[in-house]
Amino acid sequence: MSAPFEVLLYYKYCRIADPDAYADEHRKLCYQLGLKGRILIAAEGINGTVSGTAENCKKYRETLDEDPLTAEIAWKIDPSEEHVFSKLSIKVRDEVVTLGLGEEDFSPEELTATHLKPAEWKEAIKEDNIVLIDARNDYEWEVGRFEGAMLPPVASFRDMPKWVRDHRDELEGKKILTYCTGGIRCEKFSGFLLKEGLEDVYQLDGGIVTYGKDPEAKGEGFEGECYVFDERLTVPVNRTEGAKLVSTCVSCGLPSIRYRNCLWQPCNAQFIVCEECEEKSGRYCDPICKEVHRMGTAAEFTP
């Protein structure tokens, strides 16, 4: 029996003439279909992840597929027993993923690296003289990443250009393979690498999510789980016998993939904690947060 709900992950770089008007119409469509999730719309395209009944998710896909503007979306579809979002959020932004290049900005429709299908990626990551770059934020790769990847310690995608320029010597002359959750960030990031003069650049087509579903690749080479921006928080990727966890509980150091938000609201940082340690010490990312919260003070403090 098929699951009653679906979770959709998708993006499309396309020219949207009036993002505000498009967002209004899109909001009406999602409300009509009872969809919940997060959708970003900009002049350069659309980036979304939503959940809904399987029937209504199908109607949503058909509607976008029939629109010349958003035709040929590569949908990532997960079955679900329920909604994985509590509400619908549709926002208009300057960029669908914020790299923050300003006047140096460009469209992936004009410049992006070669896509490698999962089977091609599986072989490419075994080659010598390659550099694997995780194009996600640090809290994402903490719970899962490809073995041997460079892990930029960035809290925001907009910090990636500086990281690249700071590590130029490590990238020069290498075959660069870059990956992200569903592919949208690599469309822009790989184009930026090319723009910076790094010539041998490739990206994982469809991202980690597609790689994990591919019947040939089976997620091989990926360690841990993939962080996702919904109530599931993580999803499995590696379906081979070599699968293993790489993230550990912040308190005891044992393997864990349980993300929680720090109970002290001024912090609210996401961190990994096992069930036993959460029961023992509460949902705090750091003993200082627990003490400050207990004292009831909001003194200037950066966790």
pLDDT tens, residue by residue, 182-205: 999 999 999 999 999 999 999 999
DSSP run (H or E) holding 188: helix 184-195
CATH of domain 5-92: 3.30.70.100
The number of CA neighbours under 13 Å toward the Cβ of 123 is: 5
**Extents of the domains making up the chain:** 5-92, 106-236, 248-303
Range 106-236 has CATH code 3.40.250.10? yes
For the chain, list the strands marked E by DSSP. 5-13, 36-42, 45-53, 76-80, 88-92, 114-116, 130-134, 144-146, 175-179, 201-204, 222-227, 234-236, 259-261, 270-272
Catalytic residues: 180
pTM of the model: 0.90
Tens of pLDDT, residues 75-129: 999 999 999 999 999 999 999 999 999 999 999 999 999 999 999 999 999 999 9
DSSP conformational letter for 30 = H
Label the pairing between strands 130-134 and 222-227: unpaired
Label the pairing between strands 45-53 and 114-116: unpaired
| Residue 69 CA from chain centroid, whole number | 23
Cβ-based neighbour number of residue 285 at 10 Å:
22
Q: Which pLDDT does position 297 carry in this prediction?
A: 57
Tens of pLDDT, residues 258-277: 999 999 999 998 899 999 99
